[in-house]
Amino acid sequence: MTTESRDREHTWTEAGPVLLRDDERIDDLERNGYGIIQRRGAFCFGMDAVLLSGFAVVKPGETALDLGTGTGIIPILLEAKTPGRHFTGLEIQEESADMARRSVAYNRLEEKVEIVTGDIKEAGRLFKLASFDVVTSNPPYMNSAHGLKNPGDAKAIARHEVLCTLEDVIREGAKVLRPMGRFYMVHRPRRLVEILDNFTRHGLEPKRMKFVHPYADREANMVLIEAVRGGGALMKVESPVVVFDENGQYSDEIRTTYGY
Going by pLDDT thresholds of 50, 70 and 90, the confidence category of residue 140 is: confident
Domains of the chain with CATH codes: 45-256 (3.40.50.150)
Q: Which residues contact 47 (CB under 8 A, 6 or more apart)?
A: 222, 243, 260
CA distances, 141 to each of 8, 166, 246, 249 (Å): 34, 8, 28, 26
pLDDT tens string 86-133: 999 999 999 999 999 999 999 999 999 999 999 999 999 999 999 999
pLDDT at 121: 96
pLDDT tens string 229-256: 999 989 999 999 999 999 999 998 888 7
pLDDT tens string 164-186: 899 999 999 999 999 999 999 99
Average pLDDT of the residues of the chain: 88
Q: 3-class SS at 8?
A: coil
pLDDT tens string 29-84: 989 999 999 988 776 778 899 999 999 999 999 999 999 999 999 999 999 999 99
Residue of higher predicted confidence among 99 and 259:
99
CB 134 within 8 A of CB 86: no
pLDDT at 30: 86
pLDDT at 255: 83
